[in-house]
């Protein structure tokens, strides 16, 4: 038997959020009452009941001294009004995906649209959605009901409508309904509000059930999404709906060649694990699935243990532990031929050569190489011996991993795969799972950049019985960064120039990685001209030359300078535009006492109202407007106060004087 657990099985985001909310309130010592069952799972409800959680079927039943928790299904507006009227303390665990539907239908109703809801009218989520509709609304469970509603209500097809869908609705049935809406309704706005987790879960269940002899679907009897999963699976193979491990039909399942396990959004991981462990115990060889299945399971759910088949159990199944030394006599794309000094021909399948499944035989060995190998299977009839290098390497490497876990030493390995929730690094033949939170220096760094890269990591968790290890690259990076910081502070001084990389931008400046430590360039230091945001000057990833303006080692703060003195517009003005210079200036602002004009980028000068014209004017706007380009003369510069005085009048008077002299001549 081969057992495959769907990677999407278990709590969805919304349910997990609701359960955690109740647990947190209990941990804080508060009395908790949920509005309806917080989750469609009897085991979890029983645990909460033991901790004192009560269930109220209506707001009126809720105790005045308890915190009322609104479950992830959400409620209508009238419920919020009733809670407010009673003055109850409450926590809202409405799933954000459901809350989004509430906002959509509320707005649609305000716009006068009729709301069409695909879902089960009796489901609390749908009832909550309808509670936010102030106008006409209709619910349909399938395409046939939608057609009936359309036929019975004259004019609905051409009316403005808004269509939404229950987050756990059947994906295939929604496609059928969408086809009708798109073809029939001429003024419809459609929101595909099926939760993406639900869609993935149903798609995965459909794919898994097509290749399995039987499916186990775990969840509460009242769970709508679990019931849909069961129906999806039942259409492809034998399916069994169970709430807990004691409901497993073990006599029937023992006869199945391949069994799949999936679970609804309200099913705790502990119950899924209990079912999986029970199935594995019943089927002694379940954990030694074929390489193809083991590889698939590794990618599907590494955190829950569906890694490549475990070394120890594999050796038991193969019923051999004899080691041999062989010489490579041939290499093909699928296997390595080895002479082990026996009458049988030895061969190592490509899948048994390396812990990295993407490695090609020709990349690992060449003819003439000597290797220590483990005998996996002897076939005297065919005269062959199947061998494994991977498993022997793993056995040796596991000792190193355990030692590294004990002394916190650093291991090196190559990232062979990016899987759900993290990456797999191979060190001495051992696959180590590194969670996403421990794989990079920052959570925003893409995991894909690590693929095929040599990395250093520490072992932070081991399961010696099942030979599994969890590592942390971030731990090593953190130590390296700390060492770089100490080195920086030993030599850092004001004025010293560094080359760094722009790490991030904020509204007030840019953070630069100086090599293990970050410094900040304030926005005022990025340009001599006024800018609104650092992105006008720099981009994340830019390499920049900066100098230290100020240091505060106690607070770990480094202020950096970026502007170059030679680019200072006041230095440029001093060197190239002395008093008396005539130039074109652009009017950029107006006041009652004059106009401001740009002399050069970064410097504006004032044309006093008395210097705008050669005659008296009431206001600057009588002669100038913003955007005008006029000739003006620099009449004064105050470098200390950063002020420039300009005059148009003096040029006009000079022109008149020159014209008078010309006429006299």
Domain of 341 in residue numbering reads as: 320-388
* Bigger pLDDT: 93 vs 13: 93
Other beta carbons within 10 Å of 2:
22
291's CB contacts (< 8 A; 6+ apart) are 308, 309, 351
Q: Residue 251: which residues within 8 A CB-CB, separation 6 or more?
A: none
CATH number at residue 65: 3.40.1010.20
Please report whether residue 308 resides in a domain.
no
Q: What DSSP character marks residue 273?
A: H
Residue 304 lies in a domain: no
| Same domain flag for 87 and 102 | no
Same domain for 167 and 218?
no
Q: What is the pLDDT of residues 608-649, one digit of tens each?
A: 999 999 888 999 999 999 999 999 999 999 988 889 999 999
Residue 229 counted as domain residue: yes
pLDDT bracket for residue 261 (50, 70, 90): very high
Are both 164 and 177 inside the same structural domain?
yes
Q: Is 499 exposed, middle or buried (0-12, 13-18, 19+ CB in 10 A)?
A: exposed
Q: Evaluate if pTM is beyond 0.75.
A: no
Within a domain: residue 480? no
Q: Which of 522, 383, 398, 552 is nearest to 467 (CA)?
A: 398
* Phi, psi angle pair for 349, to nearest 5°: -60, 150
From 563, 588, 613, the end of a domain falls on: 563
Q: In the structure, what pLDDT confidence band is assigned to residue 588 with cuts at 50, 70 and 90? A: very high
pLDDT mean over 379-393 = 78
Q: Indicate if 401 and 379 belong to the same structural domain.
A: no
Residue 288 has pLDDT above 60, yes or no: no
Catalytic residue among 110, 125, 292, 417: 125
Residue 402 reports pLDDT greater than 90: no
pLDDT at residue 310, as a whole number:
37
> Are 91 and 13 in a shared domain?
yes
Do 366 and 417 reside in the same domain of the chain?
Answer: no
Is the domain of 102 the same as that of 189? yes
For residue 314, the model assigns a pLDDT of: 34
Claim to verify: residue 416 and residue 399 sit in the same structural domain: yes
Rounded Cα distance between 500 and 515, Å, is 7
- pLDDT (0 to 100) of residue 664: 61
pLDDT given for residue 311 in this prediction: 36
- Is residue 296 in a domain? no
Residue 299 has pLDDT above 90, yes or no: no
Residue 271 · residue 9 · CB < 8 Å: no
Question: Same domain for 140 and 81?
Answer: no
What pLDDT does residue 323 have?
A: 80
Give the pLDDT score at 585: 94
Work out the average pLDDT over 547-573.
83
Last residue of a domain, one of 440, 470, 500: 470
Note the pLDDT tens digit of each residue in 198-254.
Answer: 777 888 889 999 999 999 999 888 887 888 899 999 999 999 999 888 899 888 888
- Report CA-CA distances (Å) from 102 to 40, 109, 159, 166: 22, 11, 21, 11
Asked whether residue 48 carries a pLDDT value surpassing 70, the answer given is yes
* pLDDT at residue number 383: 67
Q: What is the pLDDT of residue 315?
A: 35
CB-neighbour burial class of residue 508 (10 A; exposed 0-12, middle 13-18, buried 19+): exposed
Q: Which residue among 234, 262, 286 closes a domain?
A: 286
Instruction: Report the number of distinct structural domains present in the chain.
Output: 6
125 belongs to the catalytic site: yes
In a domain, 510, yes or no: yes
Asked whether residue 321 carries a pLDDT value surpassing 70, the answer given is no
Structural domain includes residue 306: no
> What CATH number is attached to the domain comprising 586?
2.40.50.140
Task: Please report whether residue 166 resides in a domain.
Answer: yes
Task: Show Cβ contacts of residue 188 under 8 Å, excluding neighbours closer than 6 positions.
Answer: 116, 160, 161, 162, 163, 181, 182
Answer yes or no: do 70 and 201 share one domain.
Answer: yes
Both 163 and 23 in one domain: the answer is no
| Radius of gyration of the chain from its Cα atoms, rounded to whole angstroms | 37
Confidence (pLDDT) at 62: 93
Whether 365 and 254 share a structural domain = no
Per-residue pLDDT at 281 exceeds 80:
no
* Burial track 309-326 (b if 16+ CB lie within 10 A, e otherwise): bbbebbbeebeeeeebeb
Question: Is the per-residue pLDDT at 113 higher than 90?
Answer: yes
Which strand ranges, in their side-by-side order, compose the sheet holding 67-70?
Answer: 54-56, 32-35, 67-70, 90-92
């Amino acid at each position: 038997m081969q057992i495959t657990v769907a990677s999407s099985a278990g709590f969805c985001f919304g349910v997990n959020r609701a359960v955690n909310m109740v647990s947190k309130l209990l941990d804080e010592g508060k009395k908790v009452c949920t509005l309806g069952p917080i989750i469609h799972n009897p085991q979890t409800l029983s645990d909460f009941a033991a901790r004192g959680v009560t269930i109220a079927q209506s707001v009126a039943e809720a105790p005045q001294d308890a915190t009322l928790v609104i479950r992830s299904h959400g409620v209508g507006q009238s419920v919020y009004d009733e809670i407010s009227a009673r003055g109850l303390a409450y926590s809202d665990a409405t799933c954000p995906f459901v809350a989004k539907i509430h906002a959509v239908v509320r707005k649609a109703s305000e716009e006068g649209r009729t709301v069409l809801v695909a879902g089960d009218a009796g489901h609390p989520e749908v009832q909550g959605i309808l509670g936010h509709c102030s106008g006409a609304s209709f619910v349909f469970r399938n395409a046939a009901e939608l057609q009936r509603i359309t036929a019975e209500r004259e004019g609905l097809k051409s009316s403005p409508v808004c269509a939404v869908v229950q987050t756990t609705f059947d994906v295939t049935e929604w496609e059928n309904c969408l086809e009708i809406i798109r073809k029939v309704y001429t003024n419809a706005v459609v929101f595909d509000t099926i939760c993406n987790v639900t869609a993935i879960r149903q798609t995965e269940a459909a794919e898994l059930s097509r290749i399995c002899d039987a499916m186990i679907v775990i969840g509460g009897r009242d769970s709508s999404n679990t019931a849909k999963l069961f129906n999806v699976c039942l259409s492809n193979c034998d399916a069994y709906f169970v709430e807990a491990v004691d409901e497993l039909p073990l006599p029937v399942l023992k006869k199945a060649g391949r069994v799949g396990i999936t679970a609804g959004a309200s099913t705790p991981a502990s119950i899924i694990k209990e079912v999986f462990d029970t199935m594995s115990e019943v089927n002694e060889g379940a954990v030694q699935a074929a390489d193809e299945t083991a590889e698939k399971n590794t990618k599907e759910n590494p955190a829950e243990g569906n890694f490549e088949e475990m070394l120890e159990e594999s050796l038991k199944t193969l019923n051999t532990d004899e080691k041999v030394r062989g010489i490579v006599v041939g290499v093909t794309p699928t296997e390595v031929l080895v002479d082990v000094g026996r009458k049988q021909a030895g061969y190592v399948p490509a899948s048994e050569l390396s812990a990295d499944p993407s490695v090609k035989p020709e990349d690992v060995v060449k003819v003439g190489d000597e290797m220590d190998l483990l005998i996996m299977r002897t076939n005297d009839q065919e005269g062959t011996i199947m061998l494994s290098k991977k498993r022997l390497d793993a056995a040796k490497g596991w000792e190193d991993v355990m030692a590294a876990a004990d002394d916190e030493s650093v291991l090196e390995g190559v990232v062979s795969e990016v899987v759900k929730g993290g990456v797999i690094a191979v060190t001495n033949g051992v696959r180590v799972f590194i969670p996403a939170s421990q794989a990079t220096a920052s959570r925003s760094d893409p995991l894909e950049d690590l693929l095929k890269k040599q990395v250093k990591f520490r072992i932070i968790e081991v399961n010696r019985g099942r030979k599994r290890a969890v590592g942390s690259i971030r731990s090593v990076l953190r130590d390296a960064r700390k060492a770089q910081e100490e080195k920086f502070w030993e030599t850092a001084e004001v004025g010293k120039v560094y080359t760094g990389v722009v790490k991030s931008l904020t509204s007030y400046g840019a953070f630069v990685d100086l090599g293990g430590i970050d410094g900040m360039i304030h926005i005022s230091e990025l340009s001599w001209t006024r800018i609104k945001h650092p992105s006008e000057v720099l981009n994340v990833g830019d390499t920049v030359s900066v100098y230290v303006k100020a240091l505060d080692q106690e607070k770990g703060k480094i202020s950096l300078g970026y502007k170059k003195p030679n680019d200072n517009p006041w230095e440029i003005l001093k060197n190239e535009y002395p008093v008396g210079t005539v130039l074109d200036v652009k009017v950029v602002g107006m006041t009652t006492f004059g106009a401001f004009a740009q002399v050069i980028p970064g410097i504006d000068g004032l044309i006093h109202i008395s210097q705008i014209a050669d005659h008296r004017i009431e206001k600057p706007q009588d002669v100038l407007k913003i955007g005008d380009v006029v000739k003006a003369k620099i009449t004064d510069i105050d470098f200390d106060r950063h002020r420039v005085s300009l005059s148009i009048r003096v040029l006009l008077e000079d022109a008149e004087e020159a014209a008078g002299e010309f006429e006299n001549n």
